Amino acid sequence: MTDTAPGPPLRPLLLIDVDGPLNPYGARLTRHRGYARHRMRPANWSARQEPGSRALRRGLLVRLHPGDGRRVLDLPYEPAWATTWMHEANELIGPAIGLPEPLPVIEWPRMFEADPDGLYWKTRHLVAWAAGRPFAWIDDMITDLDSAYVAREHGPHALLLRVDPRKGLRAADWAALRGWAEERRER
């Protein structure tokens, strides 16, 4: 008979959107304190631009904080990308914020498709992807409908953190993420 002791409990997932939380695209100031400006051409964005257009030639302006990768890794979570950037988040965003290794990626079966119940188009797939694991989701498009759906379908094992796209992740957001994960660990 083999003695198999259970391993340590799995850390909660941290499901990360890029535009809004990491890239405060709505910031009024062109120079957001501590952020670096980048011009990128993610495939999903490029496909929606007019061929040969000025926008496509210039690229998408993305503001990223080079310390956010360390902040993500310092949290007691298993991070994953929950963004339309999908695998390009590992190629373009990760290096710019200081993530040393690729993160898992949620691959969306359909993007921007209207939900019959008015949910954000990511919500149902994200809950299914988490497969019952506790998670924190940071996004700028989360609504009260999404929060109610996640509470009903996933129970109290999720934190939905709506981030202001004019500000990006702030100190209070990082503290809320840390606090929620630590609360879970104490249970």
Residue-level pLDDT at 186:
72
Q: Strand pairing partners for 62?
A: 38
* Cα gap 5→146, rounded to integer Å: 37
- Residue 179 makes CB contacts below 8 A (sequence gap 6+) with none
pTM: 0.91
For 156-160, what is the mean pLDDT?
95
CATH code at 13-30+65-186: 3.40.50
For 89-101, what is the mean pLDDT?
97
Q: Where are the domains of the chain?
A: 13-30+65-186
Residue-level pLDDT at 32:
73
For 155-162, what is the mean pLDDT?
95
Convert the pLDDT of each residue in 135-147 to its tens digit. Answer: 999 999 999 999 9
